[in-house]
Amino acid sequence: MSDNIGVRGRTLLAAGLSAALPMTTVRAQAWPSRPITMVVPFAPGGGTDTFARPFAAKLSQQLGQQVIVDNRAGAGGTVGAAIVARAQPDGYTFLVGAVHHTVAVSAYKKLSYDLDKDLIPVTGLAYVPDVLLVNPKVPARTLSEFIAYCKANPGKVDYGSSGLGTTRHLAGEIFNVRTGAQMVHVPYKGSGPATAALINGEVAAVFEGLGSAAGHIRSGTVRALAVFARARSPAFPDIPTAAEGGVPDFESLSWYGLWAPAGTPREIVAKLQGETAKLFEAPDIKKIWFQQGAEPGGEASDTYATFVKAEIGKWGKVVRDNNITLE
């Protein structure tokens, strides 16, 4: 009898302690108890997808719950971002966003969400330099030859991007100003469609993240002329930098990261950040990121938030300097 009373007493004590815990802590301890959706605001096959899918697969294993990638393309990634901004802040919907969202803050006249107020920065996923790709039929094998080709055909060379107001769009406009290339911009709903258009010959060139372009570069379906970074990529040492091709001080970095809807419990945000950092210790993920020419994220949420804020300021200046305004 005394043993039964002791067990009951301990059970009641445990129940009392659980009742005393903050609700957010209880939720965080139970999280996740069902599948998680990660919204990728671009079409399948693009740069964001390149990192989101292996990340989701590995995270599913770690958490013991399925992590679903849901592509919601449109308006330079802002459609998907708005969906997450309006989602229930219960820890089961996240945004796999990109640098493009920091551009949108200044480029769009009006957004249906506020990046700073409606979304919480969780952590970075990947940091990768951009690269200029051309269709193999373009008669240029170097960056300087491509610039000469554009100048010889003013207004006749099209370049594709992952959408209006994305960094790839802006990279092309800056390239035009810096080199006098006079290329014509053709926006697509994500990197995947833009790269497909390049391979099919619909456009002559695209500015793309090295990660999503890696497979096409290796297969020879596209030609890489320059990487927009201070140094050559260890994963692609044969691709010269833009400076080597005659365009100095021109850097363009694509990066991808996680956001949660505002109101998501801090404990859940912290747990996801911690699981992400742990994930990047795995050799298989390290290999995938290296093959894509990318540096892994996983940094603390505060560090990531500071980085995002700086990117908003940097790209805001580019938008203003180039008088770029989107509806």
Residue 22 — very low, low, confident or very high, per pLDDT cuts 50/70/90? low
Pull the structure tokens for residue 183: 């290329």
Rg (the chain; Cα; Å): 23
**Whether pLDDT at 187 is above 70:** yes
Q: Do 16-127+254-321 and 129-253 share a fold? A: yes
Assign a CATH topology to domain 16-127+254-321.
D-Maltodextrin-Binding Protein; domain 2 (3.40.190)
By the 8 A CB rule, do 85 and 174 touch?
Answer: no
Residue 29 — very low, low, confident or very high, per pLDDT cuts 50/70/90? low
Pull the structure tokens for residue 127: 């940091």
Report how far apart the first and last C-alpha atoms of the chain are (Å, whole number): 75
Q: How far apart are CA 171 and CA 251, in angstroms?
A: 9
By the 8 A CB rule, do 81 and 97 touch?
Answer: yes
Where along the chain do its domains lie?
A: 16-127+254-321, 129-253
**Whether pLDDT at 176 is above 70:** yes
Options 3.40.190.10, 3.40.50.1370, 3.40.50.720, 2.40.50.140; CATH of 129-253: 3.40.190.10
pTM for the full predicted model: 0.81
Q: For the segment 69-81, what is each residue's pLDDT rounded down to a tens digit?
A: 999 998 889 999 9
* Residue whose C-alpha is closest to residue 88's, from 256, 301, 268: 268
**Whether pLDDT at 311 is above 60:** yes
pLDDT of res. 242: 96
Burial 1-20 (b: 16+ CB within 10 A, else e): eeeeeeeeeeeeeeeeeeee
- Cα angle at 194 between 114 and 224, to 5 degrees? 115
pLDDT of res. 28: 58
Residue carrying the six token digits 């790709």 = 133
